[in-house]
Structure 1
Amino acid sequence: MSLRRFRLAVALAAASLLPLSAAQAQEKTLRIAMTASDIPTTTGMPNNGFEGMRFLGFPIFEGLILFDLSKSDQLATLRPGLAESWKQAADDKKTWIFTLRKGVKFHDGTDFNADAVIWNLERIFNKDSPQFEAAATGIMRSRVPILASWKKIDDYTVALTTTQVASYFPWMVPYILTSSPTQWEKLGKDWGKVGAAGGAGTGPFKITKVVPRQSVTLGRNDEYWDPSHKAKVDSVLLMPIPEANTRLAALRSGRVDWIEVPPPDGIPSLKQAGYVISTNSYPHVWPWFYNMAAKNSPLADVRVRQALNYCIDRKAIVSMLNGTAEPSVGWLKPTDAAFGNPENRYTFDPTKGKKLLAEAGFTPQKPLSFKVMISTSGSGQMLPLPMNEALQENLKQACGVEIQVDAVEWQVLLNAGRALPDAPALNGAMALNVSSPSSDVGMMFRYFAAANSSPTGSNFQQWKDDKFEAALTTLAEATDETIILENFKKAHERLVDNPPWLYIVHDLNPRAFSKNVQGFVPAQSWFVDLTNVSLK
């Protein structure tokens, strides 16, 4: 993001802090300050990463399968959504049969059925369909990279077929969001107009007002199909406030009830003043993606990639964040069942790091030097500017590594993650700082399988490891949970020993609330269930 655009975003955030009207004050409106620098898109496939999905995805637009966000003491699991049930076809393990829920209506009053499911799949995966949404297709395709075909069996049954047998396919299905075909037709078959007005979904909230670059208002869907998940507040006001201290000021002044990612140095005083701080472990990793495949990339050498993992002081970063993170020494946490037993146990060991660098040809006379592209804010990005400044100094002092930092807007960084290794959009960057989910095997496949190499998938680094591929294939074809876990471990061990990423920290998902916010459940997920929340 340019300095001018960043200042504009902060100015707009400040403008949103004007006094509430009497009508707004009487209505129970939950006001949330997001980390995004702009409002996520509102057509039914939000941009701005998983923060977009958190606030302008799942609360409004649903998938055939949903995440169960009701518990804080275990990883989020799956639950039925717009499909009551699903199963692999008896005669073809690549095909999954979904039995759809009857009686569900979109926010515009029209029926949800198999035709709506097929229409939405054509919208994303068929570039020749009239409803093709170009701006959304790259986002959803990267999250569901193995969908090959789809078919309506009857009005309430559909079949989805994948390119390969994949036991983990159900974990990808929640990201296929469903938007009303009628809303698109009513607004002139123009996705730009749908975005300006807000798309119509089936979820517990509906979009009632969009103010470009300033806010989106969600209203409670009183006709929601699931009585146990009806919203308790009348409305939700979502505001992009990318600068952490501006979010803090908004909370302290009473202009918002909830802020994402409070500045760590402000947490003690918030607690002292009676604000509620929520943290919890969840499947998240804050890494650098290595650009291994660029021409003459120094990161093509596994010794360099391992060295950097030994050169960083993760505990110092955690301390800087006031304990709102924990050290990351792999894609998963060491406490996760599938972490395995890798040969490398990364600690802060500059001696070992420098030895590996020297073996790869990098010495004090010929230091390793490269550029990292980072964001100024964004979903799961924590505090990217000070954190990367600390890493820059850490690597210089510990191992003589010289890092240049290129700060851009969050969506620009996300777009760079789908670029080819030597694309001009990368501006010569040899690493990208993109926070990422680590929730399930489907997500592992998305980020690391050779089949998903950029630009078609999320394997930005174009990493390929034969042992990893073999383990992934075995677990994809397995139905026995013991075999799946055993090979999940084998796959993860390769991610540690042949690292495609620099593993830095796992976020603890900090949020701050006014004491009027009740009922929030800090699920072990990137996502939240806003229907649990009430205002005192």
Structure 2
Amino acid sequence: MWSSFRPAVLAGAVLSSAVLALAGTLLSTTSVLAQEKVLRIGMTAADIPRTHGQPDQGFEGNRFTGIPMYDGLVNWDLSRADAASVIIPGLALEWAVDATDKTKWIFKLRPGVKFHDGSPFNAAAVVWNVQKVLDQTAPHFDQSQVGVTVSRMPNLRSARVVDDLTVELTTSAPDSFLPINLTNLFMASPTHWQKLFTEVPASVTDARQRSQAAWTAFSGNPSGTGAFRGVRLVPRERFEMVANKEYWDTARRPKIDRVVLLPLPEPNARTAALLAGQVDWIEAPSPDAVPQITSRGFKMYTNAQPHVWPWQFSFREGSPWADRRVRQAANLCINRDELKQLLNGLMEVPKGTVPPGHPWWGNPTFDIKYDLANARRLMQEAGFSAQRPVTVKVLTSASGSGQMQPIVMNEWLQQALKECFFNVELEVAEWNSVFTNWREGAGSAGARGSNAINVTFAAMDPFFAMGRFVTRQANPPTSNNWGFFNSDEFDGLVNTARTTFDATGRDNALAALHKRIVEEAPFLWVAHDVGPRAISPRVTGVVQPRSWFIDIAPMDIRAGS
């Protein structure tokens, strides 16, 4: 069944017009960069992720313009390939919840850290960065940064300076997830932004327009505390970063001099660019090109990741997915091993959001597997048959962060689900539009009449993995409960996990939550990503962690290459 959907093999690595244009762009700067160690990366994004400290383009933005240039109070440990990533101190050395008031957290900050512009990082800078997304009265409040931060830490309410190196954060309710959520709040330089704000022409008199103009200028000349600093932005074409040789973490001071990010959303074009030597690294290569890539000496890096490739269902009135039998039938109808073969092995077969054996597994009674007979039985019980199929419409993208091979995969699903009386219509939109609709919800115009949405998600922390999909608190536009999956039971399960502060108790609560999520099946769990990336052998020091992220800072370019 699947063979007709194999992507075209890049015989001879024929260059597309996009790659030829890329070649011209890179050659024009070759002489300038000849003496530098330069790493060139072909992203799946169609545009450069925002560079002002809160990236868009999903977590590909965090990976390439967030983590390299900025730090959070808390960072991810990306140094190991043999264990799941955990949070480690970033700009905060330590943190603790107040013993008597669990809505208060105290963070002790790292001394001596400076932003790229030379100004000091301190507690006032933390308060300023919280205000940029939470305080609409603040002159630097930026609505464009709200969606990619507040939806990821919905309980944070305010920050207060205790002293120069101590800050107090307040949440709306007890929230044991907060430290993990703070990996998504990157610290930008208040001093640098204020300088750019004062340089906005006097003719711009509206306060919000002046603020937006300053943030636009900041994007072209960013200032964080990270291992790299941005030096050149050409929207939809390229972004360049250079090493921050004064980075506070001496173990992560970059060896590479310059990183060049290039948007190449089409997988065959990315693969051709790699084979032609125009880039050193590509995300999500075309699966059928993997043998050619490896035969040419490039290295393929993969690792099982806490990253889910799903359809998320709508529970709004009239949606066929409101019937649990239909949801479970879809999960039983598809042969994921066949899909894995189609993708040349570049996926893992899921049993839920987390795998069996994970502390959050919980032993669900519904077993996600290929069982065509039971899938058809459930559909017939729900009133559907070959003579009376159900039409479902899925909003997806042609590329984008974590989307793997979305067109190939969705066309395979379209055919596979016909076996269980589903008539699948695909609504393809640009990735950022799909990602925006993920917060707008199934009832908005941006959903384009779809009753399912295909947006991948990282499952590294409890809120990201589960909480934001199954509680009323996360209903659009607050967070990502796109389909309005609402019940008192799930609100209670999420609240129990969120308000449990000892690790074992919280894991037990999360296991109970995961068990019920799998049983109710608000998703079609299709695949777990393995983060395939093809990288030139001249790039050394690559660690492919069990994470959606990767750390560029420890990498190097082999001498003489």
Q: TM-score, normalised by structure 2?
A: 0.91
In the other structure, the counterpart of 1:211 is 234
> How big is the shift at 1:55?
0.3
Q: Is the 8 A contact 1:41 1:195 kept in 2?
A: no
Q: Is the 8 A contact 2:19 2:273 kept in 1?
A: no
Q: Which moved more, 1:316-325 or 1:328-337?
A: 328-337
Aligned pair partner of 1:236 in 255, 259, 276:
259
2:277 counterpart of 1:272: no
Measure the CA separation in 1 of the matches of 2:125 and 2:17.
Answer: 39
Measure the CA separation in 2 of the matches of 1:14 and 1:461.
Answer: 43
In the other structure, the counterpart of 2:428 is 407
Partner amino acid for 2:162?
Answer: I
Q: Is the 8 A contact 1:290 1:431 kept in 2?
A: yes
In the other structure, the counterpart of 2:206 is none
> How big is the shift at 1:25?
2.5
SS of aligned partner of 1:172? helix
Query: What do residues 380-411 of structure 1 show as CA deviations (whole Å, max 9, x unaligned)?
Result: 10010111111101111x21210011111110
Q: Is the 8 A contact 2:159 2:167 kept in 1?
A: yes
In the other structure, the counterpart of 2:478 is 456
> How big is the shift at 1:12?
5.8
In the other structure, the counterpart of 2:161 is 152
Query: What do residues 53-103 of structure 1 show as CA deviations (whole Å, max 9, x unaligned)?
Result: 000001111111111111111110011111111001122111110011111
Measure the CA separation in 1 of the matches of 2:265 and 2:24.
Answer: 14
2:509 counterpart of 1:482: no
Give the 3 Å change call, closer, same or farther, for CA 118–423 of structure 1 in structure 2: same
Q: Is the 8 A contact 2:363 2:515 kept in 1?
A: yes
Query: What do residues 125-147 of structure 1 show as CA deviations (whole Å, max 9, x unaligned)?
Result: 11221101111111111111111
> How big is the shift at 1:374?
0.6
In the other structure, the counterpart of 1:35 is 44
Measure the CA separation in 1 of the matches of 2:185 and 2:127.
Answer: 11
Aligned pair partner of 2:284 in 245, 261, 277:
261
SS of aligned partner of 1:461? coil
Measure the CA separation in 1 of the matches of 2:172 and 2:236.
Answer: 39
Measure the CA separation in 2 of the matches of 1:381 and 1:391.
Answer: 14
Measure the CA separation in 2 of the matches of 1:435 and 1:14.
Answer: 31
Alignment of 1:407-446 (within 5 A): 407-443=428-464, 444-446=466-468
Give the 3 Å change call, closer, same or farther, for CA 496–15 of structure 1 in structure 2: farther
SS of aligned partner of 1:92? coil
Aligned pair partner of 2:375 in 346, 353, 363:
353
SS of aligned partner of 2:514? helix
Alignment of 1:169-184 (within 5 A): 169-184=178-193
> How big is the shift at 1:17?
5.2
2:556 counterpart of 1:534: yes
In the other structure, the counterpart of 2:140 is 131
Query: What do residues 159-206 of structure 1 show as CA deviations (whole Å, max 9, x unaligned)?
Result: 111122122211101111111112222223724532552321000100
Measure the CA separation in 2 of the matches of 1:116 and 1:247.
Answer: 39
2:523 counterpart of 1:514: no
Q: Equivalent pairs: percent with the same residue? A: 40
2:150 counterpart of 1:141: yes
Stretches of structure 1 lacking an aligned partner (at least 5 in a row) = 1-6
Give the 3 Å change call, closer, same or farther, for CA 335–268 of structure 1 in structure 2: farther
Partner amino acid for 2:62?
Answer: M
2:161 counterpart of 1:161: no
2:315 counterpart of 1:292: yes
Q: Is the 8 A contact 1:465 1:494 kept in 2?
A: no
Measure the CA separation in 2 of the matches of 1:196 and 1:48.
Answer: 15
Q: Is the 8 A contact 2:280 2:536 kept in 1?
A: yes
In the other structure, the counterpart of 1:193 is 216
Query: What do residues 188-234 of structure 1 show as CA deviations (whole Å, max 9, x unaligned)?
Result: 37245325523210001000111121010000001111111101100
Work out the number of aligned pairs and report it.
Answer: 528
Query: What do residues 443-500 of structure 1 show as CA deviations (whole Å, max 9, x unaligned)?
Result: 2222332211112111112113444433333332223333222221110011110011
Q: Which moved more, 1:213-222 or 1:442-451?
A: 442-451
SS of aligned partner of 1:121? helix
Give the 3 Å change call, closer, same or farther, for CA 341–121 of structure 1 in structure 2: same
2:125 counterpart of 1:116: yes
> How big is the shift at 1:503?
0.4
Give the 3 Å change call, closer, same or farther, for CA 195–394 of structure 1 in structure 2: farther
Aligned pair partner of 1:104 in 99, 102, 113:
113
SS of aligned partner of 2:147? helix
Q: Is the 8 A contact 2:312 2:523 kept in 1?
A: yes
Measure the CA separation in 1 of the matches of 2:124 and 2:146.
Answer: 19
2:547 counterpart of 1:525: yes
Partner amino acid for 1:529?
Answer: D
2:306 counterpart of 1:283: yes
In the other structure, the counterpart of 1:3 is none
SS of aligned partner of 1:379? coil
SS of aligned partner of 2:526? strand
Give the 3 Å change call, closer, same or farther, for CA 219–525 of structure 1 in structure 2: same
Q: Is the 8 A contact 1:13 1:240 kept in 2?
A: no
> How big is the shift at 1:8?
9.7
Partner amino acid for 1:240?
Answer: P
Aligned pair partner of 1:332 in 354, 357, 360:
354
> How big is the shift at 1:15?
5.1
Q: Is the 8 A contact 1:221 1:231 kept in 2?
A: yes
Q: Is the 8 A contact 2:58 2:401 kept in 1?
A: yes
In the other structure, the counterpart of 1:77 is 86
Partner amino acid for 1:111?
Answer: P
Measure the CA separation in 2 of the matches of 1:61 and 1:40.
Answer: 14
SS of aligned partner of 1:340? coil
Give the 3 Å change call, closer, same or farther, for CA 248–196 of structure 1 in structure 2: same
In the other structure, the counterpart of 1:381 is 403
2:244 counterpart of 1:221: yes
2:413 counterpart of 1:391: yes
Measure the CA separation in 1 of the matches of 2:138 and 2:496.
Answer: 36
Measure the CA separation in 2 of the matches of 1:147 and 1:263.
Answer: 40
SS of aligned partner of 1:161? strand
SS of aligned partner of 1:127? coil
Give the 3 Å change call, closer, same or farther, for CA 507–87 of structure 1 in structure 2: same
Query: What do residues 255-295 of structure 1 show as CA deviations (whole Å, max 9, x unaligned)?
Result: 111111111111112112211000001110000011112x3
Q: CA RMSD in A?
A: 1.7
Q: Is the 8 A contact 2:241 2:259 kept in 1?
A: yes
> How big is the shift at 1:14?
6.0
